[in-house]
Amino acid sequence: MTAQELQDYLYQRIPQASAMQACIEEIDENSLTLSAPLEPNINHRDSVFGGSASSIAILAAWAYLHARLKSLGISTTLVIQRNTMSYDAPILGCFTATASLPESADWDKFLHTLRRRGKARLQVQTHLHYDGKPAGEMQGSFVAVGCQES
């Protein structure tokens, strides 16, 4: 799945991605980076609304897992179970969200469990950056339900 195919999928299937003008900047096996501008995500203080920052962080993590599973020919229902978000600095312009697996995540165990039981859970982290500096972090637990392989 190319970055453009994934972005088209997000815009078609997750309307909020389009409304927030989320754009896939980079994607590979190890991470996915989204960017988003200030304007559609602005709050009353002329900075990014916390809910938008959180949504972009979750979207980056979900899109990363979705693309990684699709690259293996796996179709599943992927949902977020819980997350925590920290906001470390105001975001006053275009920002990025880079999702990846934390060191503690076991991708192979996740795949084995999904294939065997039809349900598996995995932690994903997303780091927000603005103006080249850290601006926040999301830790999320995602659950994949059902496993169809092509």
Per-residue pLDDT of the chain (150 residues; tens, 9 = 90+): 899 999 999 999 999 999 999 999 999 999 999 999 999 999 999 999 999 999 999 999 999 999 999 999 999 999 999 999 999 999 999 999 999 999 988 999 999 999 999 999 999 999 999 999 999 999 999 999 999 988
List, in order of start, the domains of the chain with CATH numbers: 3-73+85-101+124-140 (3.10.129.10)
- HEC per residue, the chain: CCHHHHHHHHHHHCHHHHHCCCEEEEECCCCEEEEECCHHHECCCCCECHHHHHHHHHHHHHHHHHHHHHHCCEEEEEEEEEEEEEECCCCCCCEEEEEECCCCCCHHHHHHHHHHHCEEEEEEEEEEEECCEEEEEEEEEEEEEEEEEC
